[in-house]
Structure 1
Amino acid sequence: MLTLVFMFVFMFGEVAVLDNGLALRPPMGWMSWGYYMCSVDCDSNPNKCLNEKLILSVADTFYNDGYLDAGYEYIIIDDCWAEKERDKLGRLVPDHKRFPHGMKYIADYIHSRGLKFGMYTNVAEVTCMRYPGSKDHFYIDSKSFAEWGVDYIKVDGCFVGEEFLNTAYIKFGQHLNATGRPIVYSCSWPYYIEFIHKKTPNYDVVSHNCNMWRNFHDVVTSWPAIRTIITHYKESYDQVSPYHAPGQWNDPDMLILGTGSLTDNQSRVHIAVYVMLAAPLLLSCDMKKITDYEKQLLLNLDLIAIAQDSLGVMGKPYELQNSVTLWVKPHLPRKGDKYHSVSFALVNLQSESSSVSLTPGSYSLNSTDGYTVMDIFQRKFIRNVTLRDSISVEVPAEDVIIYTLFPL
């Protein structure tokens, strides 16, 4: 199978390689699936309905409540947006009742707010929820998305075999590039290869053809789901980190703040690990249900600065004592050309608090003048440390502490 993929890439040469200059920082925004899923029965449940009104209201909230200013810019409609049949010309058609003005209208509204618009399709004949998929329609669907003003496309991989996946994602990306419109390309390719077809994804090929890709199961609105995702990325760090860089991101799926599923400390863990992973930060929730504390987390500019750092380094996990994981992420600003700032996230997924100690010099920090330490959640200076000093903390149950160490 890998031979087939490489033959395909060789035949098409440079055209097969994604080079769209997009997503140089992990995308931030909102996506419908995690919370709304396929909420199409709007008559029975008007307060949880995937429709035009919802999408425009999210755009308004981002614009009015500071999310856009903080870097959240993509508003993305996931599955279940279309009519069940294409039109006479073979084009996808938005559901007439739920999206009465069509997708170009929504895109224009979102763009007028300074935001960007995203949509969803699947490489099979149908989507994961049995709406029309893009198989045999890559050209016309890419053309439609470009004409509608789409800036981001999530492409799923349900209901097709391994061989088709390994060529379809490359072909679809070529058609997107051929439209001439800048469209961030989000693939679910490696997830289906690993977890559905039980093979090892070829991340070298994936990373040359997609801006971002989902590696693991869909998130659901529960703390156990978040804990499982975090554990997966800790265990798969060596496999996936070499391919993670500006323009090509591992995607652990959506943030579920605002769904009532997490305590405040669990919310801290959720966003902290995603920040350390340099992962996309895509909310999925009813924006009206975000608590004041969740909003404070989401708009913490010190946290966002770590997440959006232009170096795009994926944080590395280290096991400390008492089942605490230390995630270490170097980033800007630098002192000179070799002393990076470094963030430490001490993550405790256990149901009891844990005491841990660490020495900065053991984790590739190298400024012999030492570092000044800032607590990112408390937003305050802690103290200055040398490379040999010990940092000792008590990490509460199911919680995290983030320190950023700036070189002196």
Structure 2
Amino acid sequence: MRVPSVPRPPRRTLTGPSAAALCAAGVLSAAAAFPAAATPTAPGPAGPTGGARSAAAYPNLTPKPPMGWNNWSYYMCDIDEKVVLGNARALVRSGLAAKGYDTVTVDDCWMLKQRDARGNLVPDPARFPRGMAHVGRELHRMGLKFGIYEDVGNLTCEKYPGSLGHYQQDADLFAKWKVDYLKMDGCNLPTAPGKTKERTYHDAYRAVSQALRRTGRDIVFSVSAPAYFQYGGDRVWHQVIRWSSQVGNLWREGRDIAVEKHGGAKKWASITYNYAYNAKLAHLQRPGRWNDPDFLLAGDSGLSNRQIQSQMSLWAVMAAPLISSTDLTKISPAELKVLGNRDIIAVDQDPKGVQGRVVQQGPGYDVLSKPLQNGDRAVALFNAGDSARTLSTTAKTAGLPKAGAYELRDLVTKRTSRTAGKISVRVPAHATVLYRVHPVR
């Protein structure tokens, strides 16, 4: 998804010494804090504005947020079989695959610029000389899943053949190649005569959804439609997210994360921007249907360990897909430790499947709380500002039941402490402290 950077009007004005820096960095303040104990409202079956569409929901193929690797943010179009399979082997060798990072997705630019005489997509023989079915077989041999990219429009974002007019043909081809995961972008989809843009997108994604079901193969369906409505106002944007949850399993809802060629400051601004729009959408997520704020940048140049740790912690507390996009063959031990933190992965993958919500805010900081299956809460204290500060909240604010004491386990340092109810910690600039809080009865 390559949506131009169009600023949205802020929901509220940031104040305090770090306000200007935060606004410049693209941080949008989340909507007013949700009640800590509230549960997400499941998106309903409504179709595009102007009328409901009745259709069976897409099968629930992702009871937990998807995890894996995608080439786009780091490599963009500079991909081939060696890059993809090399990173797949690194997933396995590093132990990340065993921790859940099990889906390898080949993004845009994998095909030739023209279909063949039968109308089929053709893998670029210079990049993938043994074809995509071979890539899939190799990934499956490693115990991994095979993901691929296409677009509902005439062309992909990088001007390769899109699927418009070939939805069933392409779905059948992907099933033949044993694809397990389809990322379907939304570039270059012309608005159909007599239809609104929203209805056009709905009908296109619904058609792909039905085509995938007709193949008889379980293919996780990642929908990009909401990203093309982020700047159209919250009403239509949220409506698109609601019907995306019917036609697919997860959805890219906003601007792309930064790519490797960008500098560190732009990457951090991109992380905070994507965090901010995703944090406001917790009420539109439900277990098995996931808001997707885009890739993890751990391993990319220009970011500090605190910044990549912040992204990992925030994505986990928001129950976001954990999809790495970096060169895993060269990742440092420190960066690998961030991606492979089992305690933080467990927060993201918690079977309760609830996106954490913002429960407290101030100038340049957020506190989020996520209910976990065993009655614990994951509590994240995020300092988006440029200087260290002490952040404080309470067990009550975080939605925890009344108890004699609370055990706090810092999921990064692994230190454990107890409190009577106050949660307070000194948080460095651009850092996030993530606790698992357990009521002691």
Alignment TM-score > 0.5, same fold = yes
Residues 4-61 of structure 1 show CA distances to partners (whole Å, capped at 9, x for unaligned) of 6775733xx43xx21x23111111110011111122xxxxxxxxxx001111111211
Matched, 1:219 2:253: no
Matched, 1:25 2:64: yes
Post-superposition shift, 1:244? 1.2
Match of 1:307 among 314, 334, 348: 348
Matched, 1:405 2:437: yes
- Which amino acid in the other structure matches residue 282 of structure 1? I
Structure-to-structure mapping, 1:259-278, within 5 angstroms: 259-278=300-319
Q: Which residue of 1 aligns with 2:86?
A: 57
- Name the TM-score, length of structure 1 as normaliser: 0.89
- Which amino acid in the other structure matches residue 350 of structure 1? G
Q: Which residue of 2 aligns with 1:76?
A: 105
Q: Which residue of 1 aligns with 2:12?
A: none
Could you tell me how far apart the structure 1 residues matched to 2:383 and 2:320 are?
Answer: 20
Structure-to-structure mapping, 1:70-109, within 5 angstroms: 70-109=99-138
Match of 1:165 among 171, 178, 201: 201
Matched, 1:244 2:285: yes
Residues 207/223 of structure 1: CA separation in 2 closer, same or farther (3 Å cut):
farther
Post-superposition shift, 1:225? 4.1
* Aligned-partner SS, 1:82: coil
Q: Which residue of 2 aligns with 1:286?
A: 327
Point out where structure 1 has 5 or more consecutive residues left out of the alignment: 40-49, 335-339
Matched, 1:352 2:393: no
* Aligned-partner SS, 1:171: helix
Could you tell me how far apart the structure 2 residues matched to 1:317 and 1:217 are?
Answer: 20
Could you tell me how far apart the structure 2 residues matched to 1:232 and 1:66 are?
Answer: 28
Q: Which residue of 2 aligns with 1:47?
A: none
Q: Which residue of 1 aligns with 2:53?
A: 9
Could you tell me how far apart the structure 1 residues matched to 2:310 and 2:233 are?
Answer: 31
Highest RCO, 1 vs 2 (Cα 8 Å, sep ≥ 6): 2
Q: Which residue of 2 aligns with 1:176?
A: 212
Could you tell me how far apart the structure 2 residues matched to 1:342 and 1:207 are?
Answer: 26
Could you tell me how far apart the structure 1 residues matched to 2:150 and 2:139 are?
Answer: 20
Post-superposition shift, 1:355? 1.5
- Which amino acid in the other structure matches residue 314 of structure 2? V
* Aligned-partner SS, 1:312: coil
Could you tell me how far apart the structure 1 residues matched to 2:86 and 2:358 are?
Answer: 38
Residues 215/3 of structure 1: CA separation in 2 closer, same or farther (3 Å cut):
closer
Residues 176/3 of structure 1: CA separation in 2 closer, same or farther (3 Å cut):
closer
Residues 3/269 of structure 1: CA separation in 2 closer, same or farther (3 Å cut):
closer
Residues 308-354 of structure 1 show CA distances to partners (whole Å, capped at 9, x for unaligned) of 1111111111344553211111113x2xxxxx101111111111111
Judge conservation of contact 1:223–1:266 (CA < 8 Å) in 2.
no
- Which amino acid in the other structure matches residue 318 of structure 2? L
Judge conservation of contact 2:48–2:243 (CA < 8 Å) in 1.
no
Match of 1:192 among 208, 225, 228: 228
Point out where structure 2 has 5 or more consecutive residues left out of the alignment: 1-45, 192-196
* Aligned-partner SS, 2:316: helix
Count of aligned pairs: 382
Q: Which residue of 2 aligns with 1:45?
A: none
Could you tell me how far apart the structure 2 residues matched to 1:236 and 1:55 are?
Answer: 28
Residues 221-254 of structure 1 show CA distances to partners (whole Å, capped at 9, x for unaligned) of 344444444345445645x222312321000001
Identical columns (%)? 34
Residues 329/78 of structure 1: CA separation in 2 closer, same or farther (3 Å cut):
same
For the aligned residue pairs, the C-alpha RMSD in angstroms reads 2.0
Q: Which residue of 2 aligns with 1:42?
A: none
Post-superposition shift, 1:363? 2.2
Post-superposition shift, 1:182? 0.7
Could you tell me how far apart the structure 2 residues matched to 1:267 and 1:200 are?
Answer: 28
Post-superposition shift, 1:68? 1.0
Could you tell me how far apart the structure 2 residues matched to 1:234 and 1:168 are?
Answer: 28
- Which amino acid in the other structure matches residue 321 of structure 2? P
- Which amino acid in the other structure matches residue 27 of structure 1? P
Stretch moving more, 161-170 or 305-314: 161-170
- Name the TM-score, length of structure 2 as normaliser: 0.82
Residues 347/308 of structure 1: CA separation in 2 closer, same or farther (3 Å cut):
same
Q: Which residue of 1 aligns with 2:422?
A: 390
Post-superposition shift, 1:79? 0.3
Matched, 1:135 2:170: no
